[in-house]
Amino acid sequence: MEHVISGVAKFQEEVFPGKKATFAKLANGQSPEVLFITCADSRIDPNLVTQTGPGDLFICRNAGNIVPPHSNQTGGMTASIEFAVAALGVSHIVVCGHTDCGAMKGALNPQGLDALPHVKEWLGHCRVATEVVKERCGELNHSHLDEVTRENVVQQLQHLRTHPAVAAKIATGQVKLHGWVYDIEKGEILCFDEASQSFNPMDEVYAKQQLASA
């Protein structure tokens, strides 16, 4: 905890003075372009990976970068998505999974989560992903972790489309969905391509295509 506290002091003394104008502007409101949904894993830093700053991303984090399908039962994710899309007017939504995800390990072995009942119930939202991979590969084991991680991102994108605010903006071309998987060891981002139903490395060509279609 000591390094966290000293970090606050360093921010106040060394970082904040050089960004006063930015924070003065942000003090009166926000207008992020991107809703970034990712895992709560401590190894994931959305602003570091995307090289963005305060006010650029509206970030939602939870175990497994899960988007529960829309229902009449209000939850934190449902409310946050609705606020980001309908109130803040974000134009892009990224669902970003990552390698070595503990939540995906749990989804692969739900029997091992009996001592964590809330985690087990939450990861029920990943069941479609595990069932899809199981259908393709047969009996699941740890070797299928990467496949389940990617399929989970695809299925959470599907869940996003069930949210009325998101569906309305997609229908009118005001919101674009993106599925990413971040490779922690390589620093690489794999991006879901809807046409080929595959994940491909983010490169200059991909970036230009995304900017052209934005």
Residues that constitute the known binding site for Zn(2+):
39, 41, 98, 101
> 64-88 b/e with 16+ CB inside 10 Å = b?
bbbbbebeeeeeebbebbbebbeee
The greatest distance separating any two alpha carbons of the chain, rounded to the nearest whole angstrom, comes to 57
> 89-98 b/e with 16+ CB inside 10 Å = b?
ebbbbbbbbb
Residues at the binding site are: 39, 41, 98, 101
CA-nearest of 77, 60, 38 to 165 is 77
Burial of 11 (0-12, 13-18, 19+ CB in 10 A): exposed
